[in-house]
Structure 1
């Protein structure tokens, strides 16, 4: 298994729309395994394939338990997700592996119902609320070329762009 490079904003690949997965083969399994290693190494809760430069409708979610640890048996491998239902709303303080060190409150649906496929192509249905719902919405946005900062009101968006320029200057 390998740790992959996580693309950082404003990399244009992050704006690409991911394509449906048709082959549930060894290449897909390798991608899923490498994405898991990558997400784990960065202490992420979710990771979309496009964040590692792969334009496929693939994402991982691993919600920490009450002890704040993540367990591999809780890992969700979600392929070709489709929302069946979105309910309620809540604000959530989000961050992103592609936009390190920036957190902001985003409006999201409180509960979701999702149809998807697993690594073998089996069809599944998942209901989620709270952090699980938020993480899934965040990662599916990635598959559609949307970043959480795109959902910010204009003034917060300007503040983000200003902070980002400052961080980029300091890292040079």
Structure 2
């Protein structure tokens, strides 16, 4: 069942800094949410998307990105938690669909293991290296109410916030709202 793209929430919306609720119902509604999240991520040309980024306060995210060996991985995690990270880190530019436009260098673990559930409630673990590890940490942090810019010093964070820009997939969020 193909999903429907939803608007991506941008920085400033309180949902992005609110920790999510655990998913307790593994039903058709959850499966539909996951399909909508994939559709939204692809329209926005992203590699990961947390439910909070479409205004839903549930602990679920989707991803479709490559690892350090350039192998593509596509999947979702419900109620994810990071269970292991490598000491080795990689510092590269990072961006976010909810902070559209600019990127900033940020150190992340080179390898990470995340445990959670699939859409049917079955336990799963995903291990990622390189860019996939970065994505898994980034999306898990979203579900805890943390954006990548929260790791930057105030000067860098303010520069990023001044550089955000509308894209076709989120331009209505930048239009002035009637008072």
Please give the range of the TM-score, normalised by the shorter of the 2 chains.
0.7 to 0.9
In structure 1, the partner of 2:78 is 79
Is the 8 Å Cα contact of residues 92 and 134 (structure 1) preserved in structure 2? Answer: no
Task: Note the aligned Cα RMSD (angstroms).
Answer: 2.3
Select the structure that is richer in helix: 1
Is the 8 Å Cα contact of residues 47 and 63 (structure 2) preserved in structure 1? Answer: yes
The secondary structure found in structure 2 opposite 1:55 is: coil
The secondary structure found in structure 2 opposite 1:63 is: strand
Consecutive unaligned residues in structure 1, runs of 5 or more: none
Q: CA deviation at 1:83?
A: 1.2
In structure 2, the partner of 1:59 is 61
TM-score by length of 1: 0.87
> How many angstroms apart in 2 are the aligned matches of 1:5 and 1:137?
23
Moved more, 150-159 or 134-143: 150-159
Q: CA deviation at 1:147?
A: 0.7
Is the 8 Å Cα contact of residues 77 and 118 (structure 2) preserved in structure 1? Answer: yes
Q: 2:42 aligns with which of 33, 37, 40?
A: 40
> How many angstroms apart in 2 are the aligned matches of 1:161 and 1:95?
12
Q: CA deviation at 1:158?
A: 2.9
Corresponding pairs, count: 165
The aligned runs of 1:137-148 (5 Å cut-off) are 137-148=137-148
TM-score by length of 2: 0.84
Hey, which bits of structure 1, 4+ residues long, moved more than 6 A?
Answer: none
- 2:13 aligned with 1:14, yes or no? no
Q: CA deviation at 1:64?
A: 4.9
